[in-house]
Amino acid sequence: MTCDIGVVGLGVMGGNLALNMERHGFRVAGYDLDGAKAKAFAGGAAAGKNVEVVNSPEGLMAILRRPRRVLLMVPAGPAVDSAIAHVKEHLQAGDILIDGGNSFFLDTERRSKALAAEAYHFVGAGISGGEEGALWGPSIMAGGPPEAWEALAPILRAIAAKADDGDPCVAYMGPGGAGHYVKMVHNGIEYADMQLIAETYDILSRGLGLSAGELHGVFAEWNEGELKSYLIEIAAAVFAKIDPDTGRPLVDVILDEAQQKGTGKWTSQNALDVGAPVPTIAAAVESRFMTALWQERAVASRVLHGPSPTYGGQRQPLIDAARDALYACKITSYAQGFGLLRLASAEYGYGLKPGDIARIWRAGCIIRARFLGEIMAAYRRNPEVVSLLLDESFRAAIQQRHSAWRFVVQAAIGMGIPVAAMSASLAYYDAYRSKRLPANLTQAQRDYFGAHTYRRLDKPGVFHTEW
């Protein structure tokens, strides 16, 4: 049996991707360092399918057609280096290793250079969609040598999610770590999306007293309109779930501690490195840090006081305004994410195409949404637009909603309900539309205490004042 591709790591993601490839007519070889896991996969999900599970890297390489294509599905970090070392001695020049995990893009850059020096190709492929996406169609962001992409493209196009127009949600992002960079920013936007949804829920739940059942109705209705997306859809589903142990809505008995795997933090950190403002993503990351302090917050809630989180006005106007505010925040958040992609592309020489990125995020990935079609259209209208906020369609959308947006943020602040991501989004919008910001004072102070100099509005040059 000669196989088209090998999968190293037969956990849920690796196993599901192997089954996805097999279902699309490819012969798949599988290997896992954990023999029990490999045996369970072979005798379970892969039983009777065109999947050959082997018990050694030598056995894997022996049944792969050249150039060998080997997909590594192991946890990000040292496990990837370990997996590369485990299989590398059995490779030949021109063979292709693919890292399909959530690796940090600079690790991918390092591995790409090291493997290229030994005549191997290395592809960093960001794969989004979770377990279900791996099995039925993820969004795939591939980076690495163009010739390696060409060798992989038929398989990746076949297994990727398909948008409503039938277009596969996979594309070549650029050299080196470009694929993992785009996946990192995807996850940063995902953090922001989830935090904005959570803050909206908090306003409607604590502020208006909406029950989980009422929230299900609100979010289900929103999912029929401009906010239609996977995250709004599953939020509605969460509100409808009843806990079998207590009979209460399950969301009401879940501890309010949001965990993370680090990709949102990487996005925020790298944005600082390239000089890109992404305050909504940063607020979302910091909000998760705040949730981890749940024991401290329990103590503080008894001694620190503020306004009552109860809204005194009519419910429906605030619900409607919250929908508009959430959409405006979403525009602003994506503008930040795509702004970061633009600056990083120049910094790292990736040549990213934002329209292609929006196109492949329309299905399969966690942030899939109707909204991505609007972003794709914006870049079709003007591929060089420096910010989505300057696109005529999004300008009009925010113009129609910014009063509702301000009303919601003000209402939340008045009730003492934290809206870190919503308020950061609004502040970003107001800063971006301001011709003049107060940095003139900041620069004067820097010159005062450190002779850092300044520039003037009325004449060219660099100046210093003896204060």
- According to the model, what pLDDT value does residue 259 have? 80
Residue at token pair 């972003």: 375
Q: Which two tokens stand for residue 19?
A: 């089954």
- Which tens digits make up the pLDDT trace of 37-84? 999 999 999 999 999 999 999 999 999 999 999 999 999 999 999 999
Query: pLDDT-based confidence at 345, cuts 50/70/90?
Result: very high
> Which structure tokens are listed for 202?
């908090």
**What is the value of pTM for the model shown?**
0.95
| 88 given a catalytic annotation | no
- Two tokens at 221? 């209705």
E strand residue ranges, 73-219: 96-99, 121-128, 139-143, 170-174
Please tell me which residue in 22, 190, 199, 374 is annotated as part of the active site. 190
Active site residue 183: yes
Residues forming a β-bridge with 141: 126, 171
- Does the bond joining 309 to the residue before it have cis omega, within 30 degrees of 0? no
Contact of 195 with 329, CB cutoff 8 Å: no
| Mean pLDDT for the chain overall | 96
Helix (H) or strand (E) holding 266: helix 263-274
**Cα–Cα distance measured from residue 137 to residue 159, given in angstroms and rounded to the nearest whole number:** 6
What gap in Å lies between CA 391 and CA 399, rounded to an integer?
12
Q: Is the dihedral of CA 205, 210, 214, 217 positive or negative?
A: negative
Q: Which helix (H) or strand (E) holds 8?
A: strand 5-8
Structure token pair of residue 282: 């940063």
Q: What is the pLDDT of residues 115-158, one digit of tens each?
A: 999 999 999 999 999 999 999 999 999 999 999 999 999 999 99
In this prediction, residue 257 carries a pLDDT of: 87
Q: How far apart are CA 378 and CA 392, in angstroms?
A: 8
pLDDT at 323 over 90: yes
| Positions of E strands within 114-208 | 121-128, 139-143, 170-174
**C-alpha span between 258 and 292 (Å, rounded):** 7
Strands 28-31 and 51-53: parallel
- Token pair of 241 as six digits: 């779930």
Pairing of strands 51-53, 69-72: unpaired
Closest CA relative to residue 88, chosen from 124, 55, 120: 120
- Displacement of CA 324 from its chain's centroid (Å): 22
Percentage of residues in the chain having pLDDT higher than 90: 97
DSSP annotation of 56 reads S
Helix 263-274 and helix 279-291, axial crossing angle in degrees, nearest 10: 140
- C-alpha distances (whole Å) from 372 to each of 30, 229, 340, 358 are 35, 9, 17, 6
Pick the catalytic residue from 183, 199, 330, 374.
183
Give the single-character DSSP code of 362: S
Instruction: Please give the C-alpha separations between residue 2 and each of 59, 62, 65, 68, 114, in angstroms, as whole numbers.
Output: 12, 8, 6, 11, 28
The alpha carbons of the chain give a radius of gyration, in whole angstroms, of: 25
Torsional class of 258: left (φ above 0), alpha (ψ -120 to 50), beta (otherwise) = beta
pLDDT by residue (tens digit) across 22-38? Answer: 999 999 999 999 999 99
Lookup result for tokens 């990837």: 80
Q: How far apart are CA 207 and CA 458, in angstroms?
A: 50
Question: Which of the listed CATH numbers 3.40.50.720, 3.30.70.1230, 3.40.630.10, 3.10.100.10 matches domain 5-176?
Answer: 3.40.50.720
Question: What is the per-residue pLDDT for 1?
Answer: 60
Domain borders along the chain are 5-176, 184-432
* Segment 250-309, tens digit of pLDDT: 999 999 988 877 788 999 999 999 999 999 999 999 999 999 999 999 999 999 999 989
Rounded Cα distance between 182 and 125, Å, is 10
Which tens digit of pLDDT belongs to each residue from 427-458?
A: 999 999 999 999 999 999 999 999 999 999 99
For residue 416, count other CB atoms closer than 10 A to its CB. 14
- Domain 184-432 is of which CATH architecture? Orthogonal Bundle (1.10)
**CA 399 from centre of chain:** 27
What length does the chain have? 467
CB contact at 8 A, 178 and 146: no
Predicted local confidence at residue 434, as pLDDT: 97
Task: Give the pLDDT score at 210.
Answer: 97
> What does the alpha-carbon distance between residue 188 and residue 105 come to, in Å, rounded to a whole number?
14
CA end-to-end span of the chain: 81
